[in-house]
Amino acid sequence: MIDIHYHLIPNMDDGPDTIECALEMVKISYDQGVRTIVATPHLNHPAEFRGHMANDKDMLQEFEKLRTYIQTTYPDMELYLGAEVYLSKQDLSQLEQVEMRTMNKTRYVLVEFRRDIPFEEMDKGLQGLIALGYQPILAHAEVYNCFTSDMEGLLNLREQGVLIQCSAGNIIDIRQKPEKTRAKEMLRHGLVDIIASNGHNLITNKPDMTKAYTYVTKKYGAEEAKRLFEVNPKIMLADQVVPQAIRQIKPSQPINKKWIYVATIIALAILTRCTS
Ligand SMILES: [Fe+2]
């Protein structure tokens, strides 16, 4: 497996507190079969976190330490550098001034927005990135409220080349959260391109991929699981064009509850007439 969304660099953003915690996370990933990790510390995020986010020198030093450790301990595992770039409403009108870091120096950039962003605003940001020559990957697409009633927006984004990433943890969450409902709906319609862990630590956001891999395998087959956890991330890291899913289904419009009510009344009326 390849995990392309991973807050692994210690003491940077809201990822692990210590190097020991980061190394334990790497072990978990390795034991689950992950052989490539892209470390994606937050970039341009409005939260202050630990205050080191923008300090590239410190971040690169920590990244190199981790890479050396991985090369020594797990010779068949690779660590690459990317970022999760946050775009605020203000950034959308001056995108060329936003600090970017692509995924292992490819054209692909992992991008996030605030969760309640209107679709039109998100669309503007993603189109702006494409106009600047980037290939956006929408991070944890299932967290955005705008996809609750308008899943069709995802189709439009994908037609323009935006990749859709869902988080493994939200797919298999034991709680019935809107994120889980949306993630499963996206999977059902073949609208997901990549599944990654969005791992942050060992407690609240573990880098757990196995349960989601098993879920996708059981529900959609081994080939689909391989496509989402391995094939597509590999194509992306090779800076090639990721092909769209074959079984992509256009989401149906949400059924208007008013019409269900009217249909029930009519059916009851007919039934009453027939039985009287
Ligand atoms: Fe993230």
Using the mean position of ligand 1's atoms as its centre, give its distance from the Cα of residue 196 in Å.
Answer: 10
Q: How many separate helices (H) and strands (E) can be counted in the chain?
A: 10, 9
φ/ψ bin of 218: left (φ > 0), alpha (ψ from -120 to 50), beta (otherwise): alpha
CB-hemisphere CA count at 13 Å for 65? 15
Angle at 254 between CA 248 and CA 255, to 5 degrees: 130
Edge-to-edge strands, sheet with 108-112: 42-43, 84-86, 108-112, 135-138, 163-167, 194-196
Which of 13-22, 27-36, 265-274 tops mean pLDDT?
A: 27-36
Supply the angle between the helices 56-73 and 19-32 in degrees, to the nearest 10: 50
Q: What is the pLDDT of residues 214-262, one digit of tens each?
A: 999 999 999 999 999 999 999 999 999 999 876 666 665 444 455 556 6
Q: What distance lies between CA 39 and its chain's CA centroid?
A: 14
Distance of alpha carbon 41 from alpha carbon 200, whole angstroms: 10
**pLDDT confidence bin for 175, thresholds 50/70/90:** confident
Query: Is residue 263 scored above 70 in pLDDT?
Result: no
pLDDT at position 65: 93
Q: Sorting pLDDT into bands at 50, 70 and 90, what band is 271? A: confident
Buried b / exposed e along 121-158 (16+ C-beta atoms within 10 A):
bbbbbbbbbeeeebbbbbbbbbbbbbbeeebbbbeebb
pLDDT-derived band at 123, boundaries 50, 70, 90: very high
pLDDT (0 to 100) of residue 114: 96
Q: Facing residues of 167 across strands?
A: 196
In the reported structure, the alpha carbon of residue 189 is separated from the centroid of ligand 1 by a whole-number distance in angstroms of 24
198 CA distance to ligand 1 middle (Å): 5
Q: How far is the CA of 11 from the centre of ligand 1 (A)?
A: 15
Handedness of CA 46, 51, 55, 61 (dihedral sign): negative
pLDDT per position as a tens digit, 183-223:
999 999 999 999 999 999 999 899 999 999 999 999 999 99
CB 29 within 8 A of CB 213: no
Q: Which CATH superfamily is domain 2-275 in?
A: Metal-dependent hydrolases (3.20.20.140)
**pLDDT tens digits for range 127-136:** 999 999 999 9
Distance of CA 209 from the midpoint of ligand 1 (Å): 15
Report the distance separating Cα 104 and Cα 239, nearest Å: 9
- Please list the residues that pair with 2 across neighbouring strands: 36
Q: How much of the chain exceeds pLDDT 70, in percent?
A: 90
Q: What is the mean pLDDT of the chain?
A: 90
Q: Are 5 and 140 in contact (CB under 8 A)?
A: yes
Distance 110 CA to ligand 1 centre (A): 9
pLDDT value, residue 255? 41
Distance between Cα 202 and ligand 1 center (Å): 15
Mean pLDDT of 102-113: 98
Q: What's the order of all strands across the beta sheet hosting 2-6?
A: 2-6, 36-39, 78-81
- In this prediction, residue 275 carries a pLDDT of 64
d(CA 73, CA 21): 16
* Average pLDDT value for residue range 107-116: 97
